[in-house]
Structure 1
Amino acid sequence: MSTRHIITVDAVLFDMDGTLIDSTPGVMTAWGIFAKDYGFDADTVAHASHGRRLHDTLREFCKIEDEAKLLAEVTRFEEEVLNAGPVALPGAIELIRQIQYGNPSQEAQRHSWVIATSATNVYTPPALRVCGVPIPLAGLVTSDDVTRGKPHPDPYLAAAKRCGAESEKCLVVEDAPSGLNAGRAAGSKTLAVCTSHTRQEILNASTPDYIVKDLTKVSVNWIDGKLHLTIDESE
């Protein structure tokens, strides 16, 4: 069976943490601090919460009901992550460069990709800047922009709308089962990257259409105003 696939889509909808950038050291530091403050096991909660909105996770595991305190704790958590210095993951910047600058039409470039993240609109822009990842011309979809976060489809439905595309004609790129399930629920094709979970962990909890080691296994060409992605699933 061939491990190389070529697909055509109108837009690519990226997750951020764990897909485009590696914020793991900061996330684990933050969970360690919050575990001491609220009395839970940091590793267990970090694994269970990956890909979900921090707002939802802190409400569940820290038992925070007061909205003002919850928002303040989200900010405190994200500041710890930024202080640790996230970095771009392999292949991420090059793939975005191919998408954003591979077509002479500015209109096509503007609607070709977007980021849909479970992080807030306070954390997301500086995290991208620190990592050297450009902000999409179509904008960002953050946890502040949707009522329901991943694994619900809302973030990716909103992301497709930002691109002026039908979600069924988009590719969702994700590292977490919750995000892959959100993409599938939105009707999109899904591509899993094994940058935060093992291949088996991903397949145990989701059903991606494609799965790769990281984004060095993906490349893009523009043909007649459409994105043609080559996906190499070899390990």
Structure 2
Amino acid sequence: MPAVNFHVDAVLFDMDGTLVNSMAGLVGAWELFKQKYPDINVEDILSSAHGVRTVDNLRKYCGIEDPEELTSEALRFEMAIVTESTSKGRPGILKLPGVADAMQEMSSSRHYPNPTWAICTSATREYALAALANAGIHVPDAFVAAEDVKFGKPAPDPYILGAEKCGVKPANCVVFEDAPAGIQSGNNAGCKTIGLLTTHTKTQMEAAKPDFLVPDMSSVSLKLSQGGGVDVTVEQF
């Protein structure tokens, strides 16, 4: 299929599964939590929980309802992702294919007052900052973490706030996501969406109805436009 070119005012990135591969640490964290919550099924959780806030997953799968306990357990879980990512010979938290080139192009436009990209993650701020540091990715000024919104993905709140932090309308943004819940969030916000096949099956991602579906970031080229914003090229397959 021919490449598709379009222009946006800002690019809104998910983090886990989009910019970084933290799957080894995620598996380790759920295995660690199974010691305290023996009824959880790690395999089932991994097939459906990606892209959703940790507090929402812990409420659903571990039955935690107390707000203070949810907050403390979510932080414990997410920091376990960092520590477990390198335990037992695991590879750590790494950039996904194509991300290094994208970050090299976009890095200079990450600061206020006119950033052209944001990270909008379902992770807590503390974990997200640690994960990005581990992967060697600069944190943009426009940054949205789990605690910044009342409702997480698939609600539109994270991407609406991300567009707001970039000073642009959601309709003039493109979202990069690896999870159905994230694609739904971007669609609900009115953004253009690009799905990545890094953590879910093609069938799962197609069901969320992204505008484009590609293997990973290496199928997309981002170029800062001299007139502002970003020119996007999508190599369809």
Map of 2:25 onto structure 1: 26
Partner of 2:77: 77
Distance 2:2 2:156 in 1: 28
Structure 1 pair 209/58, CA: closer, same or farther in 2 (3 Å)? same
Q: State the partner residue of 1:159.
A: 162
By how many angstroms is 1:107 displaced? Answer: 6.3
Cα contact 2:54–2:74 (8 A) shared by 1: yes
Cα distance in structure 2, aligned partners of 1:176 and 1:3:
25
| Matches for 1:86-101 after TM superposition, within 5 Å | 86-101=93-108
| Cα RMSD after superposing both structures | 1.6
Rounded Cα–Cα distance in structure 2 between residues aligned with 1:146 and 1:218: 29
Once residues 229 and 163 of structure 2 are traced to their aligned partners in structure 1, the CA distance between those partners, rounded to angstroms, is 15
Task: Give the aligned partner of residue 131 of structure 1.
Answer: 135
TM-score by length of 2: 0.91
Q: Residues 146-175 of structure 1, C-alpha deviation per residue, up to 9 Å, x if partnerless?
A: 000000000000000000010000000000
Equivalent residue pairs, number: 228
Confirm or deny: 8 A CA contact 1:98 1:219 kept in the other structure: no
Q: Return the TM-score normalized by structure 1.
A: 0.92
Contact kept? 1:100, 1:112, Cα under 8 Å? no
Structure 1 counterpart of 2:11: 12
CA distance in 1 between partners of 2:111 and 2:134 (Å): 26
1:60 is displaced (CA, Å) by: 1.3
| Partner of residue 172 from structure 1, selected from 170, 175, 189 | 175
Aligned to 2:88: none
Separation (CA, whole Å) in 1 of partners of 2:206 and 2:212? 11
Q: Is the 8 A contact 2:120 2:144 kept in 1?
A: yes
Q: Which residue matches 1:216? A: 218
For 2:60, the aligned partner's letter is: E
Provide Cα deviations, 1:85-134, integer angstroms capped at 9, x if missing partner: 31111111211221233x7x9768x4200000000011111110110111
User: Residue 198 of structure 2 aligns with which residue?
Assistant: 195
Q: Distance in 2 between matches of 1:74 and 1:123?
A: 10
Partners of 1:225 and 1:70 in 2: how far apart?
41
State the alpha-carbon separation in 1 of the partners of residues 130 and 40 from structure 2: 29
Structure 1 gaps of 5+ residues are none
* Letter of the 2:59 counterpart: R
User: 3-state DSSP class of the match of 2:224?
Assistant: strand
The residue number in structure 2 matching 1:51 is 51
Match of 2:126, SS state, is coil
Q: Is the 8 A contact 2:111 2:140 kept in 1?
A: no
Distance 1:164 1:131 in 2: 27
When residues 106 and 54 of structure 1 are mapped into structure 2, their CA distance, relative to the original with a 3 A threshold, is: closer
Q: Which moved more, 1:173-182 or 1:74-83?
A: 74-83
- Any idea what SS the aligned residue of 1:123 has? helix
Give the corresponding residue for 2:89: none
CA contact (8 A) 2:111 2:141 kept: no
In structure 2, list runs of 5 or more residues that go unmatched: 86-91
